Amino acid sequence: MKSPYRTIRRLAFAVAATIGTTALAQAAEVTQLTVYRSDNAGLYASQGSGDVDAGYAVVHEQRLLQLTAGVHDVTLGDLPTLIDPEALALGFPGSAAKVVSQRLMLARGTDAAVAGLSGRHVEVLGANGGPLASGVLLRAGDGLLVRDDSGNTTLISHYAAVRSHGTTFPTGARLSLRVDADRSGQQRAVLSYPTAGLGWRAAYVATLLPGTACRMQFESRASIANRSGRDWRDIRLTLIAGAPNFAKASAPRPMMALARSTASASLPRQTGLADYRSYRLPLPIDLPDGSISQVPLYADRRMTCQRTALFETGNAWLPPQPMLSRNFNQNAGGPIISTLTLHAFDSLPAGYLRVLTEDRQGTPQFIGEGRIDDTPKGGDATITLGTAFDLRAQQTRTRFEIDKAGRTLEEAFRIELSNAGDSPRTVTVRAHPNRWRQWTLLSSSSKPTRQTIDTLEFRIKVPANGKTQLDYAVRYHWNADQQPH
């Protein structure tokens, strides 16, 4: 049977302020937080609660510890619940003290919330609301160990609530240290560790501008997810774009409207970091637990772009020998895909691009979304918006002839394009002659705009409420030692 005291205990913790002058004290300097890119859907989900064991971040924070000369134990609380215990490090600048050993006590349910108060001044209340003990919380877990102002220590097994005076209620894991100090007094400690539950990715919005040319208003932001089990207040934040390797399977795994701002002072400072890109925010930021925050990556800008209505047949795969089957890799036709391509004005971290266009009432409407991979400055990024409603394509093979003695195969196609819209359109037809790597274009009703070892590309104008067609023929040829069996 469960203890009624433990049942009551799980229901309430009075939240309110003051940091004790013993083991744990608030750091004077701003905490440094480096967050790596992660595409884990759980981090950014608008529903669901609790910590998410995904993402990767490295924390550098400073703590003021009240030490006693000689060897003694100190406890630090208010650590994330998904911390990597093997990579945690604490040191004392100036060598005024050294760590003899350390032990990370992992967070467990309600006890984790109380453990976060280790080193703070607390008031422990009983079932009737009266105080049971008051003083510094030394330990939380199987009972509470509290030392009062007179130095007396009390072990409390049954209680209803714990009150801490302050604006935040720390939660998570706690770090137990055995320290050898040269002297008594406050000492500054530097604490570093990686943790899961934090990640970021780019979020782009492109609003197409009116006119026949493809131009857009481009906004770039960073979406930062915190599901670490801890609030982060007034931190200095650095975002890392790229894909470092994480070897340990048990380690953390990588991977809302925003007012427009064009002031360069408010934008992150971008620099290189080994093989990756680093974005350091200019001002401190808050990342409350269970939140998705957004900050600008680059100033908003107007850009040129390219819209393409694409019909593609086949693919760029090349077989190990000539493919002579009549029905090899045939595409009868279907809808035509609408794509958008932009030229990267700077390094664009991986993320998702939402594309909008204004309707006749001037209201921006969503017309498609796609993923952009890491794109270096000067590179092109292309996403698929969807299928073009008014455009269709139908492919028919008009000739198929094999000359095994001459080691050749000729194949011809007709592609009929239709446009049910009120405006003329240009359709890009991308064909892949992939029966064999040696081929020649024999004829075509339109001149190809691009030709490579595995691609033929044509740009075909289709009139409004009309049709047009493309005819082309290719010849494959192979050597005697490449003759199919």
Closest CA to 307 of 428, 195, 411, 421: 428
Contact 190, 64 (CB under 8 A): no
DSSP code string of 258-292: ------GGGSPEEEEETTEEEEE-SS-EEE-TTEE
d(CA 312, CA 431): 6
Q: What angle do CA 189, 246, 292 make, to 5 degrees?
A: 70
Q: For the whole model, what pTM was predicted?
A: 0.73
Contact 379, 394 (CB under 8 A): no
d(CA 83, CA 252): 8
Least confident residue range of 256-270, 304-318, 350-364, 365-379: 256-270
| Residue 90 CB neighbour total at 10 angstroms | 19
Which residue stretches of 2-118 are H helix? 4-9, 41-44, 109-115
Per-residue model confidence as pLDDT tens digits over 165-223: 764 555 567 788 899 999 888 888 888 999 999 999 999 999 999 988 999 999 999 99
Least confident residue range of 10-24, 53-67, 124-138: 10-24
What tokens were used for 361? 């009432």
Instruction: For residue 58, give every residue at least 6 positions away whose Cβ sits within 8 Å of its Cβ, in sequence order, or none.
Output: 33, 34, 192, 193, 194
d(CA 148, CA 137): 9
Between 271 and 208, where is the model more confident?
A: 208
Residue 261 scores a pLDDT above 70? no
Domains and CATH numbers, the chain: 4-26+70-180 (no CATH), 314-336+388-482 (2.60.40)
Residue 443, strand partner residues: 473
Question: Which SS3 state, helix, strand or coil, does residue 472 take?
Answer: strand
